[in-house]
Amino acid sequence: MLRDSGPCIRVVCKLRSGDSDVEALFRALEAGEWKLAGPKLSKGEFEAEILSSSLEGDEVIFSLRSANPEVLEDFSRAAIRECWYIEVHYHLRAEAAEKAAENLGIKLGEKRVFRIKEFGVQLKVESFPAARALTISYRVGWGELNRNVMKKIHEKLINTKSPKSLLDRIMGWMK
């Protein structure tokens, strides 16, 4: 039925109340070379969709079309200038969910919320066994971004060292 489009990553930007607004956030992203076109932002081949913003204008959700941790970091670095903090959400299903659960040392078989500390960041992990789904979220600010926490967490959740990417690297080297 549905083709697995890979993990879905969302970035929630909490704006600094009072002195920042949605427009300022877009300007910051544009300064980071993310081009704004309608409900989408793009940088090279990478895309982010503006999913929604709260009517109060204190929060914007983006959906990243790429599971590339460098893109995630790049996007967040541009956005953080106008944010109080950024919340990253991973929405994983089926095998990807099971894999991540295993990497975090938890079982997907139980409907539960887990709080797990990784790289100095508190992860909130929610499991929905009946849907074979796992949601992981965490907050970062300047400090965490500078410590490359996003990339480390990404690698922990998603096994990036798959045979395919290895092959890709070899092919890249041959070229």
Partner 1 sequence: MNEEYKREHVFGLDYGTSDFKFGPITLGEVPEVVENRGYFVDSSSLMSRLMGVRKEIVVGRDVPMFLESREELAKRMVYPMRNGIIPKDDERAWKVIEELTKYALEIFAPEYDDFQGFYAVASISVVAPRYMYERLFEVFKEMNRGRVLIRAATIIPQPLAVAIAHKTPTCTVVESGHGNTQVCPISMYPVRDAVIALNRGGDAANILTAEILKDAGYGDLAKEESLVRKIKEEIGLLPRNLSEAIQFAKSNPDKVRASLKIPGTRVKIDLEDLSWTRFLIGEYVFNPGHEIFQSYFARGMPRPGDVKIGDTYFYGMMDMAEAVITSVEKCPIELQPYLYSKILLSGGNFGWRIPRGLESVATTADLKSKEMLVEKGIENVEVVVTGDPKFSVWKGCIVYGYAVPIDYEWRWERMEGWMNVA
Tokens of 37: 């076109």
What is the rounded distance in angstroms from the CA atom of residue 175 to the CA atom of residue 172? 5
Q: Which of 35, 107, 112, 161 binds partner 1 (CB under 8 A)?
A: 112
What does the chain come to in residues? 175
Helices H / strands E in the chain, number of each: 6, 9
Nearest to 140 by CA among 129, 131, 148: 148
Q: Which of 22, 61, 106, 116 binds partner 1 (CB under 8 A)?
A: 61
Nearest to 136 by CA among 105, 112, 160, 157: 157
Q: Which of 17, 33, 39, 107 binds partner 1 (CB under 8 A)?
A: 39
If one asks whether residue 103 binds partner 1 (CB under 8 A), the answer comes out as no
Contacts of 169 (CB under 8 A, 6+ apart): none
Closest CB 136 distance from partner 1, rounded Å: 10
Q: Which of 19, 45, 105, 113 binds partner 1 (CB under 8 A)?
A: 113
Closest CB 55 distance from partner 1, rounded Å: 5
Question: Which residues are near partner 1 by CB under 8 A?
Answer: 1-2, 5, 8, 10, 38-39, 50-56, 59, 61, 63, 89, 91, 93, 111-113, 126, 128, 130-131, 133, 135
